Amino acid sequence: MVAFWILAPIMVIAALGILFVRKAVHAALLLAVVMMSLAVLYLALEAPFLFAVQIIVYTGAILMLFLFVLMLVGVDASDSVVETIRGQRAFAIAGGVGLGVLLVTGLGQITLGTAVGLDDANAPGNIQALANILFSRYVFAFETTSALLITAAVGAMVLAHRERLTPKAGQPERAAQRMQDYAEKGAHLGPLPPPGVYARHNAVDTPALLPDGTAAESSVSRVLAARGTVRSAPALADDIEEIEHQIGWAPHAGRDAAPPASTTEEAPATGGEH
């Protein structure tokens, strides 16, 4: 009972959290809390097999599926707090309270008395006992369940399947497309330059430098460019002087006044030193 009194408030608070948190991911995590606690309660109720199944199937599989879909849909999607259907929230709360009062009072009215306990039933071991029942009395239901699961799997595949609208482009088609783009728009024919190959850094967020010292825009991912996290190559050159000073080599006096272009010109050389 100790476990119950510890877990029950946690579960209720977590469940209420599902109601109030705005982000679906948080709701999923709170649901995980409820489910894990529930697993523990199963253990307390002498159902070790369900304890395992609850953790493995529910928390492990189903909840992960939820999170997976959340990732697909958009983790950031959060509910607006404004209720759009007039009276829905008030009636929902009223109905919920009514249901809760009804259930709790209804259950409070009945006296269950002392539980029989599962010691006898679990005598050969909980899993063996369950298996005995499952494969004897409930065998048809069990087999039906397998059909259900297969149907569900097929259904999910059918639902998730997207029809191809255009024929799949193979290598010849892609090559032809590239040549056409080059002919019409002058698009670069070869592969895109890898990032930072000839710069001081070869991180993905550092653009490569072209032979004339300018940064190659196409060498970094457009996503990074959109996020504004691309580092410019010349900005990385501010420690050159310090390094030259450390190694006691000063080929140019007016280094500071030099235009960034000149810096980039030297970049291959410095890069070569590394």
For another protein, the binding residues in 8-27 under the rule CB under 8 A are 8, 11-12, 15-16, 18-19, 24, 27
Give least dist CB 29 to another protein, A. 10
**Interactions with another protein, residue window 54-113 (CB under 8 A):** 54, 57-58, 61-62, 65-66, 69-70, 72-74, 77, 79-80, 83-85, 88-89, 91-93, 95-100, 102-104, 106-108, 112-113
Q: Cβ distance 201 to 260 under 8 Å?
A: no
Give least dist CB 183 to another protein, A. 36
Give least dist CB 164 to another protein, A. 15
**Interactions with another protein, residue window 154-173 (CB under 8 A):** 155-156, 159-160, 162
**Interactions with another protein, residue window 241-270 (CB under 8 A):** none
Give least dist CB 45 to another protein, A. 5
Cβ proximity to another protein, 99 vs 175, nearer residue: 99
The contacts found for 19-24 with CB under 8 angstroms, 24 or more apart, are 22/78, 22/79, 22/81, 23/75, 23/76, 23/77, 23/78, 24/70, 24/73, 24/75, 24/77, 24/78, 24/79
Give least dist CB 160 to another protein, A. 5
Cβ proximity to another protein, 120 vs 238, nearer residue: 120
Work out which of 10, 118, 189, 261 binds another protein, going by CB under 8 A: 118
Rounded CA-CA distance 146/154 in Å is: 12
Cβ proximity to another protein, 74 vs 248, nearer residue: 74
Rounded CA-CA distance 107/123 in Å is: 30
Cβ proximity to another protein, 104 vs 250, nearer residue: 104
Q: Cβ distance 50 to 73 under 8 Å?
A: no
Q: Cβ distance 42 to 50 under 8 Å?
A: yes
Phi, psi angle pair for 78, to nearest 5°: -125, 150
Give least dist CB 190 to another protein, A. 35
Work out which of 6, 123, 139, 152 binds another protein, going by CB under 8 A: 152
Work out which of 134, 197, 224, 240 binds another protein, going by CB under 8 A: 134
Cβ proximity to another protein, 126 vs 219, nearer residue: 126
State yes or no: residue 129 binds another protein (CB under 8 A): yes
User: Which x/- pattern, by CB under 8 A, does the window 28-57 give for another protein?
Assistant: x--x--xx--x--xx--xxx-xx--xx--x
Work out which of 10, 123, 143, 151 binds another protein, going by CB under 8 A: 151
